[in-house]
Amino acid sequence: MTARRQPRPLADALRAAVEPLAPSTTLAAVQAAWPQAVGATIAAEATPVSECDGVVTIACRSSTWANELDLLSDRTLEKLASELPRDRSPTSLRFTVADHLV
């Protein structure tokens, strides 16, 4: 009798299908690592939206969040650096207030 294979979680199958399609840019890498690096609460209030010359712009729901995250930017950069390959780590973060976040 053959051993029956266990079903695997759908999230694993989707991740395996989507990861090869992601662009290999600093912004894409930061967007993928953002929730893990900053936690669910901050990820719900701020999201990486653009990158230019290693500076990643983070859109925040309010000026209060933008200010707080700016104060924590060194710590956030360290967390991102630990999650990302060296060539995909941002050099700095810039926080702005977004009109809307998706």
HEC assignment per residue over the chain: CCCCCCCCCHHHHHHHHHHHHCCCCHHHHHHHHHHHHHCHHHHHHEEEEEEECCEEEEEECCHHHHHHHHHCHHHHHHHHHHHCCHHHCCCEEEEEECCCCC
Predicted TM-score of the model (pTM): 0.77
- 52 lies in which domain range? 26-97
pLDDT tens per residue across span 15-72 = 788 777 767 889 999 999 999 999 999 999 999 999 999 999 999 999 999 999 999 9
On whether residue 4 sits in a domain, the answer given is no
Q: Is residue 59 part of a domain?
A: yes
Residue 6, in any domain of the structure:
no
Please check the confidence at residue 1 and state whether its pLDDT lies above 80.
Answer: no
Residue 77 belongs to a domain: yes
Looking at residue 52, which CATH number applies to its domain? 3.30.300
- pLDDT for the residue 11: 79
- Whether the predicted pLDDT of 2 surpasses 90: no
Residue 99 has pLDDT above 70, yes or no: yes
Domain assignment present for residue 36? The answer is yes
- Model confidence over 83-97: pLDDT tens digits? 998 888 999 999 999
Please check whether residue 70 lies inside any domain of the structure. yes
| Number of structural domains in the chain | 1
